Amino acid sequence: MTSLSAAQLDQAKLDPASVFRAPEDVLSANLPDDDKKTILLRWEADAEALMRATEEGMPPDDNRRGPGELLRAVQAALGSLGA
C-alpha cells in the first residue's frame, strides 16, 4: 500500500496523474475512502475535459491511455469504492 504525505495528498486532489500512475493505484493507496473518492472524482473530471479537448481536435499530451480508456478506468475504480 502506498502512503502519501499531506503535501502529496493535496497534490493528488488537484492533479491525480502527478501522484498516481493509474486510477487503480488510488484504490491500493493507504487512504480513507473519502480521500480516494475525491481524487478519483477529480481524475474523472480531468478525463472528461480531455475527451472534450480531443473531440475538438486537440491531441492528448499523454500517450499511455486514450481519454476514453482513462475515463473507463476511473469510473471502474469509482465503482469499486461504491461511489
d(CA 58, CA 61): 9
Confirm whether pTM is higher than 0.75.
Answer: yes
d(CA 7, CA 54): 31
Q: Which three cell numbers stand for residue 57?
A: 481536435
Q: How far is CA 62 from CA 26, 55, 78, in A?
A: 19, 15, 22
User: Above 60 in pLDDT, residue 63?
Assistant: no
d(CA 60, CA 13): 21
Lowest model confidence (mean pLDDT) among 21-25, 32-36, 79-83: 79-83
pLDDT of residue 6: 94
pLDDT tens-digit series, residues 9-29: 999 999 999 999 999 999 999
Most confident of 35-44, 45-54, 68-77: 35-44
